[in-house]
Structure 1
Amino acid sequence: MKIRTTVAAGIAVATALALTACTGGSSSSPGTSSGDGKISGNISFQTWSLKNDKFTPYFEGVVKAFEKEHPGVKVNWIDQPGDGYEDKILQQAGSGELPDVVNLPPEYAYSLASSGQLVDLKKDSKVLGDYLEGGVGAYKFDGIDGSFGFPWYLGTELNYWNKDLLAKGGVAKAPATFEDTLDAAAKLAASGVATMSSVPSPKMLQIVGATDAIYKDGKFVFNTPKAAAVIDRYAKLYKAGAITAQALQVAGTEGSNVNIFNTGGVVWTTAGPNYIDKDVAVNAPNLLPAVDVTNGFGNPPLFVQGISVSKKSKNSAAAMAFAEFVTNTSNQIAFVKLAAGFFPGTKAANADPAAFAGTPINELQKAATSLAAKQMANAKMTGAPQYTEAMETYAKQQIALAVTGEISGKEALDKAVQYAQQNVAK
């Protein structure tokens, strides 16, 4: 068993909100829905970097409410630090001490599921249909039958536009599709306006539909003719001035596209749903009147943290009941109220974003939150558990060479696929 490093969508650094009283869920939770076993005994529940002044009262309230509803159960809440969580999970799994209920991103869940350590929720939970399909899908893995995590807190990305720069280049409104964006970029470049400051990555190519998958049936498959055509189109746009020189600086550029957008340097960026109030209004307030927001393109990305159940739990009925309880609609709404910019994992919770999003400072923030909530129904996780950050970096380096015309888009993707296939963990 091998767990690959991932950039987790942790919320320990999420923008703070005032701590409000937590309900700990209601007695109508689906806690008694799973299996025929008796809900009793001691279970452990592990979170990832969430024990602090903001979240501790919430988790204490959830545990207390569950134990009150099920007097025969005691829940021991454990929280692990942000650093070293991957190693800790490895240690716990290898020694047979994996917590009964555990917070796992899909990458970690894949490794544990592939070694038979997680419960198949598709078989053992009667409420899996209550959760967002994209979130459930993030815990279904190529080559492994089953579903191995309840989606807990989720994120996505929207498109943001500089209306003043669009107008300067003679584009009347924000492009509606990715293809429209490429057409607009060519027109804007003729007026000296740059549209983007990043090169496409395989994950981005998946989002816009240039490849259906990153990894399938044991092979990396993102070197499609359609994906190569997108990269070749970027090469033409780069020559025309539609793409900034910063796009070629692949290493250490996370967030650079947003930063350049904030300075008025490019027309388009992607960011999370709380971008308006938490970034633009704070770091670029003069830009705020010029910003517009639209849905993400194609298959909007989904960022997921979930709750899984250990297959080796000695009190499996209690473990399943608690996993369902902590991720039920009322508890998820209470949780994301504390985690600004994230969305709950159940369909019912996302039906009314006003119930958890708080009061927006700017009207555009309200629009962004509403768009993101509706988008969650179709959002899907990009990439694959087998696809590592090192693979993504190498692919972007090759694509940057293609954008400057040194190699073709096909050559760039073929090299990236070859590298990925040679380095996939067995």
Structure 2
Amino acid sequence: MRKAISMLLVLVLAIGMMAGCGTKSTSENTKKDTPAATGDDKTATPTETAETAEPVTIEFWTISLQPTFTDFFNGLIKDYEAANPGVTVNWTDLPYDSIQQKLVTAAAGGTSPDVVNLNTQMALTLAGKGALVDLEAEATAEQKSIYVKSLYDSAKIGNSVYAFPWYASPNIMFYNKELFEKAGLTEIPSKYQDAFEMAKTMKDKTGAYLYNPPEFFSLLFEQGIPILNTDSTAAAFNTPDTVNLLQSFKDMTDAGYLPKTNWGSWDNELKLFETGKLATISSSGSSLSRIKDEAPDVYEKICIATPMTGSIGLSRNPLMNVVVPEASKNHTEAIKFASFITNDASQLAFCKQVAIFPSTTAASEDPYFESDTATLEGIARKMSVDISKTSKDYSLGIEDQGDVQSGVNKVYEAVIINGADIQKTLDAQEKAVNSVLQK
């Protein structure tokens, strides 16, 4: 896949502004006769109209939103087209694991999309090679001003920003109150290492794990241990603090009090939680509906709290973004539509469709998120509001974050799973990460 991405970047840079996107064949999904969103969602209608000198077609690609949200987004698109005569939006929804390859194919065929939904890691990978529009240079001050700054900066490299942040999924904690009662625990764990004694009690008295640690890359973030130096030119995680951190978790996993494998594997955590083998799980509020469907008996035992974190109190807030490829020949119109999809009204309307959290300041402060504290879902929304203030997408601000992240996580694999020497492993992976940064 990395080779494919490189191929895309070369093609994009070569094609440049000649890689048009005016074709109408890349979308089979938008139904122009679908009614616009109604009720509260009508607030998503654009507040400004625009006359275009000539017809413009915007190709809009998203990740895994159909069929659940087909009517909702067709409604937004219909509203946008009505307020912007001459603009047609073609919407294509793609699976997560195929969107990069589709971008390669589109660039090779000269039909780059104009607006694309990417996660932060994908966006940074493309931005680092000049394949995305720098919004700091081309978006208006008004368009850039509406987002929570920490989220807007997630796709920042140097002084450039390459994405409008879209919807976020801040981690909150679900815990099984029955398991806590069985273990005789009255406190809710807040910090990973501070909860070691609680983890021992939980395992001894119930047979369940208290928690599953996050992936090692995220654990370093949450412990405040720098992964890279200040100018992102070299690894910085090979420190005595990291040695001590690894040793403490190795002791716990070797003794069987915490899971040794699958750190940060959400699917595995969910399976353990739904079968009563894990007392807590950190996830977004949207996971509640899945637990309710798959394990209704466990759903009835759930309480909600702030997520467990490392020593600095930071928690993860995975983010989806909207970008404009440099190869689009409609930068101004593409940025305008990307801004519309991610503006206050559109994001708030989307949040009323699913338990996600907006990335704009005004939408995140809307009373809707605190209007219901009688249901688990309402409590989860309220908790997301509070947690969003101390959470972030774990971005390094570099194009090779995927490779760096993999190199860091190999420390965990070697030490915790395979029992390798801690210092030797850190030395080896420091060199591996430095080789990624220096190529």
- With the length of structure 1 as denominator, give the TM-score of the two structures: 0.79
1:324 aligns with 2:377: no
Q: Supply the distance in 2 between the matched residues of 1:90 and 1:425 (Cα, whole angstroms).
A: 25
Q: Corresponding residue for 1:284?
A: 295
Q: Supply the distance in 1 between the matched residues of 2:175 and 2:265 (Cα, whole angstroms).
A: 20
1:346-391 C-alpha deviation (Å, 9 max, x unpaired): 1222223736x9989x723321221113222332112545233x76
Shift of 1:42: 0.8
- Contact 1:24-1:65 within 8 A present in 2 as well: no
1:171 aligns with 2:190: no
Shift of 1:152: 1.4
Residue 44 of structure 2 aligns to a residue whose secondary structure is coil
CA 1:72–1:289: 2 relative to 1, 3 Å: closer
**Which is bigger in relative contact order (C-alpha 8 A, separation at least 6)?**
1
Q: Corresponding residue for 2:305?
A: 294
Could you say what the CA RMSD is over the residues aligned between the two structures, in angstroms?
3.6
* Matched ranges for 1:123-138 at <5 A: 123=137, 124-126=139-141, 127-138=143-154
1:373 aligns with 2:385: yes
Q: 2:73 aligns with which of 29, 43, 59?
A: 59
CA 1:264–1:314: 2 relative to 1, 3 Å: closer
Shift of 1:86: 0.6
Residue 56 of structure 2 aligns to a residue whose secondary structure is strand
CA 1:381–1:224: 2 relative to 1, 3 Å: farther
1:363 aligns with 2:375: yes
1:415 aligns with 2:434: no
Q: 2:47 aligns with which of 14, 25, 28?
A: 28
Q: 1:90 aligns with which of 82, 104, 107?
A: 104
Shift of 1:287: 2.9
Q: 2:366 aligns with which of 322, 344, 352?
A: 352
Q: Supply the distance in 2 between the matched residues of 1:44 and 1:242 (Cα, whole angstroms).
A: 53
Q: Corresponding residue for 1:120?
A: 134
Residue 77 of structure 1 aligns to a residue whose secondary structure is strand
1:228 aligns with 2:240: no
Shift of 1:49: 4.3
Residue 419 of structure 2 aligns to a residue whose secondary structure is coil
Q: Supply the distance in 2 between the matched residues of 1:333 and 1:414 (Cα, whole angstroms).
A: 47
- Kindly provide the amino acid, as one letter, of the partner of residue 406 in structure 1: G
CA 1:273–1:399: 2 relative to 1, 3 Å: same
Q: Supply the distance in 1 between the matched residues of 2:200 and 2:95 (Cα, whole angstroms).
A: 47
CA 1:125–1:238: 2 relative to 1, 3 Å: same
CA 1:366–1:25: 2 relative to 1, 3 Å: closer
- Contact 1:134-1:377 within 8 A present in 2 as well: no
CA 1:81–1:73: 2 relative to 1, 3 Å: same
1:70 aligns with 2:84: yes
- Kindly provide the amino acid, as one letter, of the partner of residue 271 in structure 1: S
1:59-98 C-alpha deviation (Å, 9 max, x unpaired): 3332332232222433333444544211122333456542
Paired residue total: 397
Q: Supply the distance in 2 between the matched residues of 1:72 and 1:276 (Cα, whole angstroms).
A: 42
Shift of 1:417: 3.5
- Contact 1:49-1:79 within 8 A present in 2 as well: yes
More helix by share: 2
1:104 aligns with 2:118: yes
- Kindly provide the amino acid, as one letter, of the partner of residue 181 in structure 1: A
Residue 179 of structure 2 aligns to a residue whose secondary structure is helix
- Contact 1:134-1:378 within 8 A present in 2 as well: no
Q: Corresponding residue for 1:16?
A: none
Q: Supply the distance in 2 between the matched residues of 1:197 and 1:374 (Cα, whole angstroms).
A: 22
Q: Corresponding residue for 1:195?
A: 209
1:288-323 C-alpha deviation (Å, 9 max, x unpaired): 454332222222212222111233443332222211
Residue 156 of structure 1 aligns to a residue whose secondary structure is coil
- Kindly provide the amino acid, as one letter, of the partner of residue 244 in structure 2: A
- Kindly provide the amino acid, as one letter, of the partner of residue 26 in structure 1: T
Which deviates the most, 195-204 or 156-165? 195-204
CA 1:395–1:49: 2 relative to 1, 3 Å: closer
Q: Corresponding residue for 2:269?
A: 257
Residue 293 of structure 2 aligns to a residue whose secondary structure is helix
- Kindly provide the amino acid, as one letter, of the partner of residue 284 in structure 1: A
Structure 1 unaligned runs (5+)? Answer: 5-18
Structure 2 unaligned runs (5+)? Answer: 7-35
Q: Supply the distance in 1 between the matched residues of 2:289 and 2:168 (Cα, whole angstroms).
A: 19
Q: Supply the distance in 2 between the matched residues of 1:71 and 1:152 (Cα, whole angstroms).
A: 25
Shift of 1:242: 1.3
Q: Corresponding residue for 2:412?
A: 399
Q: Corresponding residue for 1:217?
A: 232
Which deviates the most, 226-235 or 390-399? 390-399
- With the length of structure 2 as denominator, give the TM-score of the two structures: 0.76
